[in-house]
Chains A and B, each alone.
Chain A
Amino acid sequence: MLSGIFVVLLFIIGLYCILATHNLIRVLIGLEILIKAVTLLIIAVGQASGNTALAQALVVTIIVIEVVIMTVAVGVVLGVHRHTNALDARDIRKLKG
């Protein structure tokens, strides 16, 4: 119950960061905070339902996926910076193939 409140707060912070900023690195940081909220939720539910081992296995999977997503996203951000010389999301509204 108590963790649930803080999961919601973390989720709001991450979502607000993604929505309010134009900087691509900050968007990724907001995404990271969202993933942290999900991690906390899974562990809290695992503890409450008595299935901590299953929750830990799921969290390990989430962390692996998170690392891969961040690595590829950082590569995309660097590619955008190479083309536009900026990290502003507004600069990539017109995507050309």
Chain B
Amino acid sequence: MSLDILILILLVIASLWTVMTGSLLRSAIGLALTSAVLTLMIFRMNAPLAAVFELSVCAGLIPVLFISVISLTQAMTHKEIMEHRKARLFRFGELPLIVIILGAALGLISINFKAKLPLPAVEADPRLVLWQLRHLDLLGQIIILFTGVFGVVILFKERKKGA
């Protein structure tokens, strides 16, 4: 239990660092770190398949996507970095305080959720659930993937000259 609390605190710290750090590159790396910590938590919650997906896709692919975009865009000058640092400190300075106060308040309230819901018994294997119970989700995933592919193709299509 104490290890779970430690991982969850680490998760919040990693996400805070991701949001508050000055460099966009560090933010992308922080996002990967947040995903890695979340993977640990998901794995400890007996969900290994979701943990593997989270680790490979969210901690691997998405930060790479962000880093590629950051490298394709123009870097800020030293003067701009200094101005942005001051503005960011003003905007994000109160966020850790908000998180600490809210966390302490929610911890003190101790709401008792009735988590044992009377749900119908389903398969114990996530693969069987996905293929037998939630097969429409797979269809939706395929449609969304195709939509994404077409979206990217349209976004990066070169305009004809004179158009």
Contact = CB atoms under 8 A, between A and B. Distances in A.
Contacts of B34: 33, 36
B126 A60 contact: yes
Interface string A1-13: 1111110111011
Interface in A19-34: 20-21, 23, 25-26, 28-30, 32-33
Given A60-B53, A74-B69, A75-B155, A8 B106 contact: yes
A20 B92 contact: yes
A4 B49 CA distance: 22
Interface of A is mostly: helix
A47 B46 contact: yes
A interface residue count range (under 10 / 10 to 19 / 20 to 34 / 35 or more): 35 or more
A59 B54 contact: yes
B151 A1 contact: no
A29 B58 contact: no
A57 B127 CA distance: 7
Interface string B85-124: 0000001100100110011001100111101110100111
Contacts, number: 212
B19 A13 contact: yes
B122 A54 contact: yes
A55 B47 contact: yes
5 closest pairs, A vs B, by CB? A48-B115, A68-B148, A75-B155, A56-B126, A59-B50
Interface of A: 1-6, 8-10, 12-14, 16-17, 20-21, 23, 25-26, 28-30, 32-33, 36, 39-40, 43-61, 63-72, 74-79, 81, 85-87
Interface of B: 4-5, 8, 11-12, 15-16, 18-19, 24, 27-28, 31, 34-35, 38, 41-42, 45-47, 49-50, 53-54, 57-58, 61-62, 65-66, 68-70, 72-74, 91-92, 95, 98-99, 102-103, 106-107, 110-113, 115-117, 119, 122-126, 128-130, 133-134, 137, 140-141, 144-145, 147-148, 151-152, 155-156
